[in-house]
């Protein structure tokens, strides 16, 4: 196929010229092939000019995918009532027939899946306008840069991505034939009268890691359609594993220490474990809240935020707990709200927002009033629990100046956190890199909550909080993390945090604000500015140091009784966790690194020795 000839016939001079300025035959062939397959009536090619972004935003309003709100720049989008989250059943990594990536990683036979998706895509854009957009994962012009091209018939998806991702047209021009780019094809398919997806039974989200391509069809929900987000993670994880760098489901933030010092932290947290609240910690600065690329450079671990925006869950956001987000969500500027309640006058309401619940409005279910129920008799809340906001990080008053640094930020520490009611202490430092990767990262578990899954306290295994997004076997992934510290002149410290520890009366032993103290202590530890006590499971704070930090950071007294309850070593629970994790890696993970078992065996031996000396529950003063 003569790609450029096909593009000239379909696009005409100006639009085709924008593609032709990128000297990359593979890109030309990809665009021509999928425009021919999907057959849109019109095509708009964005070259990242200001008028292109205006054109895309206006298209979203004109075709009804978004509606304007009262605040300048704010718009509202609705997804179908049944299209409100990631579709795990119809999402899969495409692999050759017979390939097994291991338990927990959903795969599809590549040949059959590509035939399936191409059949669904054939002619799906007839009568519609398609957008061809170029983006860059990571800062442009750096070793981290991965150029991306998106073809979509959804102006909402295109608009979202212009907020979330850095422009990539110039990066494609710069890299030319050398560009190793990711490809994304999306169609929302047929729409109903509310401009939401109609054919959800034909919803597909396929990640072809061999072709560096993501296919998404018959869905609008951002987690299924904004392909550069979690779907692109699968492509990057595989590429990084082959090349010696990492793609992690991690926030990046700057923790401010004494004398104007700033230390950059990475953090991995499963859903509902405090990731966003940590990334937005009062007094600190945010580089990113979701995905990090991590490389070695000059003997340092350095990281970048893959994105430049935030696609955040809005439920519970309020003025007291989330002042930076609250301010951005009430100020003029580009913000897309999705699946919240639209109220008369151009305002919006979400669950947990300050103020009373409105008496009525319009939400993802249509006209809404308190007490409305769905077909199954379940009450419909004013906004969906997974309702979202999309905004640029630079609209936040706590954004870090290093957001776009092409060299990335130097990583001083990595933190792993899960929802754990009875085992882990609130903050703890690993003995060394291997101990941290194994006992804090590869052993990460999180408990379910009754509010979301109907049964509280079920522990879900989620190594590095990345299980849902892996495209390589778990054993290989853990080994890549273990190996990463090699050739580092300065190895970051590894910590764990647990905001959800409970006492005998089942109340949480920590307040929401306590995490501000834990991070100040960790920052001091990175620079050897404070000592620590050596427990069997890691290094914990001394009471005197926390007492001082609670006073300095929060202006509060910190009782020694609280310290003893929070930092006691719970030996039976820790031994039970080791047994669970060992069983998973022995029985369910192929080619698990031997270091996992040796590190866990060492932890078990220390715990058993401590129990022989002090009993099952050991207060921190014993160390």
**Strands, E, within 306-385: which ranges?**
309-313, 335-338, 341-343, 347-349, 361-363, 366-368
Residue 377, judged by CB atoms within 10 A of its CB (0-12, 13-18, 19+), counts as exposed
Q: SS3 for 211-249, per residue?
A: CCEEEEECCCCHHHHCCCCHHHHHHHHHHHHHHCCEEEC
CB 213 within 8 A of CB 185: yes
- The encoded tokens of residue 245 equal 């760098």
3-state SS class at 136: strand
CB 60 within 8 A of CB 67: no
Of the candidates 16, 133, 148, 273, the residue annotated as catalytic is 273
Name the one residue in this structure whose structure tokens are 């779907």. Answer: 231
**How would you classify residue 310: left for phi > 0, otherwise alpha for psi between -120 and 50, otherwise beta?**
beta
Nearest to 47, CA basis, from 169, 140, 151? 169
Nearest to 307, CA basis, from 453, 161, 447, 518? 161
Name the one residue in this structure whose structure tokens are 């057959």. Answer: 39
- The encoded tokens of residue 114 equal 């590509």
Nearest to 166, CA basis, from 132, 133, 195, 189? 133
CB 361 within 8 A of CB 67: no
8 strand-pairing partners: none
Nearest to 335, CA basis, from 85, 155, 164, 188? 164
Alpha-carbon distance of 237 to 109, in angstroms, equals: 20
446 strand-pairing partners: 460
Cα distances from 467 to residues 271, 303, 414, in angstroms, run 12, 20, 18
Alpha-carbon distance of 155 to 57, in angstroms, equals: 7
Angle at Cα 518 formed by Cα 515 and Cα 519, nearest 5°? 90
Alpha-carbon distance of 105 to 356, in angstroms, equals: 43
Give the pairing of strands 251-256 and 285-288.
antiparallel
> In angstroms, how far is CA 75 from the centroid of its own chain?
23
Residue 23, judged by CB atoms within 10 A of its CB (0-12, 13-18, 19+), counts as middle
Cα distances from 183 to residues 22, 33, 206, in angstroms, run 15, 12, 12
263: which residues sit within 8 A by CB, 6+ positions away? 254, 255, 257, 412, 413, 523, 526, 527
* Catalytic annotation present for 133: no
DSSP structural state of residue 373: B
3-state SS class at 45: strand
Alpha-carbon distance of 26 to 69, in angstroms, equals: 41
Q: What is the crossing angle of helices 155-164 and 50-62, to 10°?
A: 140
Active site residues: 273
């Amino acid at each position: 196929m003569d790609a450029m000839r096909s593009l000239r016939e379909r696009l005409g001079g100006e639009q085709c010229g924008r593609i032709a300025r990128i000297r990359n035959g593979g890109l030309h062939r990809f665009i021509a092939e999928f425009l021919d397959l999907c057959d849109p009536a019109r095509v708009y090619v964005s070259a990242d000019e200001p008028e292109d972004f205006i054109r895309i935003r206006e298209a979203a309003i004109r075709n009804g995918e978004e509606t304007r709100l009262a605040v300048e720049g704010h718009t509202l989008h609705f997804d179908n009532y049944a299209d409100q989250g990631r579709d795990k059943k119809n999402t899969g990594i495409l692999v050759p027939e017979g390939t097994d990536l291991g338990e927990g990683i959903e795969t599809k036979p590549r040949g059959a899946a590509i035939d399936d998706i191409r059949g669904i895509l054939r002619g799906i854009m007839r009568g519609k306008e398609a957008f061809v957009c170029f983006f860059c994962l990571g800062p442009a012009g750096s070793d981290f840069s991965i150029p991306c091209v998106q073809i979509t018939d959804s102006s909402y998806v295109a608009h979202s991505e212009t907020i979330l991702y850095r422009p990539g047209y110039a990066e494609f021009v710069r890299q030319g034939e050398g560009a190793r780019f990711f490809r994304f094809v999306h169609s929302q398919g047929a729409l109903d009268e509310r401009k939401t997806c109609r054919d959800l039974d034909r919803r597909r989200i396929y990640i072809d890691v061999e072709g560096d391509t993501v296919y998404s069809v018959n869905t609008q929900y951002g987690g299924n359609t904004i392909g550069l987000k979690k779907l692109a993670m699968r492509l990057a994880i595989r590429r990084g594993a082959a090349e010696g760098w990492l793609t992690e489901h991690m926030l990046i933030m700057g923790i401010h220490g004494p004398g104007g010092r700033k230390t950059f932290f990475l953090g991995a947290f499963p859903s509902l474990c405090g990731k966003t609240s940590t990334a937005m910690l009062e007094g600190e600065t945010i580089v990113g809240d979701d995905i990090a690329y991590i490389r070695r450079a000059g003997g340092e671990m350095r990281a970048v935020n893959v994105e430049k925006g935030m696609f955040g869950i809005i439920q519970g956001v309020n003025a007291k707990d989330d002042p930076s987000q609250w301010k951005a969500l009430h100020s003029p500027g580009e913000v897309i709200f999705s699946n919240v309640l639209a109220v008369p006058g151009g305002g919006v309401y979400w669950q947990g927002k300050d103020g009373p619940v409105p008496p009525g409005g319009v939400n993802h279910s249509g006209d809404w009033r308190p007490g409305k129920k769905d077909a199954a008799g379940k009450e419909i809340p004013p906004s969906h629990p997974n309702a979202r906001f999309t905004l640029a990080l630079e609209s936040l008053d706590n954004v870090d100046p290093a957001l776009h640094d092409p060299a990335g930020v130097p990583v001083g520490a990595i933190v792993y956190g899960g929802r754990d009611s009875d085992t882990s202490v609130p903050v703890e430092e690993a003995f060394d890199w291997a101990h941290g990767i194994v006992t804090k990262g590869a052993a990460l578990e999180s408990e379910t909550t009754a509010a979301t899954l109907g049964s509280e306290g079920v522990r879900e295994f989620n190594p590095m909080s990345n299980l849902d997004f892996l495209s390589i076997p778990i054993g290989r992934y853990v080994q890549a993390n273990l190996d990463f510290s090699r050739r580092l002149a300065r190895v970051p410290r590894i910590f764990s945090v647990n905001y959800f520890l409970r006492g005998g009366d089942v109340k949480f032993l920590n307040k929401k604000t306590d995490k501000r103290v834990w991070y100040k202590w960790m920052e001091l530890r990175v620079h050897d500015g404070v000592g620590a006590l050596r427990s069997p499971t890691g290094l914990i704070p001394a009471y005197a140091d926390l007492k001082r930090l609670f006073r300095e950071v929060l202006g509060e007294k910190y009782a020694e009784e609280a310290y003893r309850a929070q930092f006691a070593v719970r030996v039976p629970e820790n031994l039970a966790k080791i047994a669970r994790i060992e069983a998973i890696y022995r029985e369910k993970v192929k080619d698990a690194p031997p270091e996992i078992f040796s590190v866990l065996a060492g932890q078990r031996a220390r715990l058993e020795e401590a129990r022989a000396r002090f009993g099952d529950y050991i207060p921190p003063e014993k160390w």
